[in-house]
Amino acid sequence: MTEKKATEVFSQWVLNGKDEGMEKNHSNAVNVMLDELVGSQTSQFSIIDAGCGNGWVVREIINHPLCSKAIGVDGSKEMIDKARSLDSRGTYFYSDLMDWSPKEKVNFVHSMEVLYYFRQPEKLVMHILDNWLIEGGTFIMGMDHYKENLNSHSWPTDLNTYMNLMSIKEWIKLFKDCGVSQIVSFQTNKSQNFPGTLILKGKKL
């Protein structure tokens, strides 16, 4: 069976209504991530959600009183079409993340369950640092597919798509090698059978 592109999988999820489950399954972790980004914010900020899906994170963060602009980018046309249909306040772009850059750089970049779909995720991290973030801007990402989460190891086979399986130490090293500064890593929403969503945060200096 030919391996599917991740964007094909996501597009099918929209058609099947499975995209709504992403919000339900990841909302707790994303709320932690957004609090890490803007919990102590005192000035206006702009943000990009990389791999925004149907735009649910953009729709949430744009309600923050200090959010001046919220942008969602995704490589699935069906996801972006749905995001646009649900939200007239956010700005959405249908594009491969590696091929897109904002007209103006932003304060924050958020990404949930995205980077491991890239065979060379370091290229995306560098692209975000070079072309998306202002100096001093913050990048935060979350993921459930990593080596320490044994239950996630079958996902590439289950979905018939490529996923880059790396350990927490390997992800931290990747961030360091890309020049990310002030790196913080932790796991949230742990349970008896789940080591938690891995969250990495760092700054562009």
pLDDT, tens digit, 9 for 90 and up, residues 70-128: 999 999 999 999 999 999 999 999 999 999 999 999 999 999 999 999 999 999 999 99
pLDDT, tens digit, 9 for 90 and up, residues 9-38: 766 766 666 566 565 677 899 999 999 999
What pLDDT is recorded for position 27? 86
Domains of the chain in start order, with CATH, are 6-203 (3.40.50.150)
> How far is the C-alpha of 141 from the C-alpha of 35, rounded, in Å?
13
**Ramachandran assignment for 53, one of left (phi > 0), alpha (psi -120 to 50 degrees), beta (any other):** left
Q: Which of 2-6, 72-76, 130-134 has the lowest mean pLDDT?
A: 2-6
SS3 content of the chain, % helix, strand, coil (to 5): 40, 25, 35
3-state secondary structure of 136: strand
> How far is the C-alpha of 200 from the C-alpha of 146, rounded, in Å?
12
> How far is the C-alpha of 166 from the C-alpha of 186, rounded, in Å?
15
What pLDDT is recorded for position 1? 62
pLDDT, tens digit, 9 for 90 and up, residues 35-81: 999 988 999 999 999 999 999 999 999 999 999 999 999 999 999 99
Q: CA 143 from chain center: how many Å?
A: 8
Query: β-pairing, 197-203 with 133-143?
Result: antiparallel
